[in-house]
Amino acid sequence: MKAAVIVCTHNRCDTLGKTLESLAASTIPASVEWEIMVIDNNSSDRTREVVEDFSRRSPGRFRYGFEPRQGKSFALNRGISETQAEVLAFTDDDVIAEPAWLWNLTKDLFSGEWQGAGGKILPLNTAPIPDWVPRDTYGVLWGSFDLGNQPRDMSLAPYGANMAFRRDVFKHGLFRTDIGPGVQGARSTNFEDQDIGERVLRRGGKLRYEPEAVIRHPFDTQRINRKYLLGRYFQMGRYIALETESKPALHGIPRRYFTIIKLLSFECPKRLYHWLFASEPAQRFTWRLLLSSSLGQAYELAVGRRGAAAESAPTALHHS
């Protein structure tokens, strides 16, 4: 059995070092081979030096890879191609992993019953949260992912800072490069990680929630502002539009036009009404966020180049 952790990074050598320190302290059964694959996504700082230092200290444990094409999805796909591990775990370059994280996240995937797994993401630091911020937005603020303390099957996709998949999942397609962050000219929505889990679920695969697989993610307090949250929900709406499977035209009219009419004639006015008249601050802002999501969906359906999604469809992984 072999597992690999894939960490993609761009100009974050300071936080990367702390992340790799936490991963180096992982406690894994001796029967499991494991490695940490760091993909440098065209960094201009000391990223390579940091990784090579860890490689010298722990020979065979850390490996360095370079992806010159800018964009996280390119780097993720490079990481997949650089390792032959049976199970691939993914995390960010600014997190702290608890010692048992990797084993708890991956241990149930070797049997083949589950195709993927996600763990708990908790804040690394704390800060006061205003009363107008809905709890549902914590996932945007620090990547919060917490489904409780009992392991179980999941009906939603895990987040990219704490997820793992069997290698054969990527025979159906790699990370989409048209929706991942950092790609120049792409319609980035930052939902390339959830897209993988959602594709597994659509194929009838099973995802496992592992509450003992804990990652601590920094809480960027600068994100506590309405403009940032509204922008993220607008992007979420665009992602929903991109992920909507096209249906046959009705009387020669593309189905997306009917969806646009529904959004602008019914859904948006309803959400606008609730935003304007809700009494509780958090509830009121929730409706404003949902309105932003609907507008993002309508925008992508009306303005987005829908053919680009097909052109950028993820290439399947053909080798084992």
Q: What is the pLDDT of residues 252-306, one digit of tens each?
A: 888 888 999 999 999 999 999 999 999 999 999 999 999 999 999 999 899 875 4
pLDDT per position as a tens digit, 119-147: 999 999 888 899 999 988 988 888 899 99
199-229 per-position pLDDT tens digit: 999 999 999 999 999 999 998 888 899 999 9
pLDDT at 255: 83
Q: What is the percent of the chain where pLDDT is above 90? A: 73
Residue 175 and residue 188: Cα distance in Å, rounded?
A: 13
- The pair of structure tokens assigned to 142 is 């620090």
Q: How far apart are CA 60 and CA 63, in angstroms?
A: 7
Q: Which residue has the higher pLDDT, 311 or 26?
A: 26
Angle between helix 281-303 and helix 226-243 axes, rounded to 10 deg: 40
Quickly state the pLDDT bin for 55 (edges 50, 70, 90): very high
Question: Does 313 score more than 90 pLDDT?
Answer: no
Structure tokens, 150? 């009992």
Q: Distance from CA of residue 120 to its chain's centroid?
A: 13
Please write the tens of the pLDDT for every residue from 85-109.
999 999 999 999 999 999 999 999 9
CA atoms within 13 A on the CB side of 238: 24
Query: Residue 54 corresponds to which tokens in the numbers above?
Result: 């860890």
How far is it, in rounded angstroms, from Cα 87 to Cα 91?
Answer: 14
How many residues appear in the chain? 320
- Mean per-residue pLDDT, 234-263: 83
The reported pLDDT for the residue numbered 315 is 66
pLDDT of residue 185: 52
CA atoms of 33 and 25, how far apart (whole Å) = 15
Neighbours of 4 (CB within 10 A): 25
Amino acid identity for residue 278 in this structure: A
pLDDT at position 307 is 43
The mean of the pLDDT values for the chain is: 90
Q: Report the predicted TM-score, pTM, of the whole model to 2 decimal places.
A: 0.87
Instruction: State the DSSP string of the chain.
Output: -EEEEEEEESS-HHHHHHHHHHHHT----TTSEEEEEEEE-S--SSHHHHHHHHHHHSTTTEEEEE--S-SHHHHHHHHHHH---SEEEEE-TT-EE-TTHHHHHHTTTTTSS-SEEEEEEEESS-----TTS-GGGHHHHH--B---SS-EEESSPPPTTSEEEEGGGGGG----TTTSTT-TTS---S-HHHHHHHHHHHTT--EEEEEEEEEEE---GGG-SHHHHHHHHHHHHHHHHHHSPP---BTTB-HHHHHHHHIIIIIHHHHHHHHHH--SHHHHHHHHHHHHHHHHHHHHHHHS-THHHHHTPPPPP---
Question: What domains are defined for the chain?
Answer: 2-223 (3.90.550.10), 227-310 (no CATH)
User: pLDDT tens, 4-13?
Assistant: 999 999 999 9
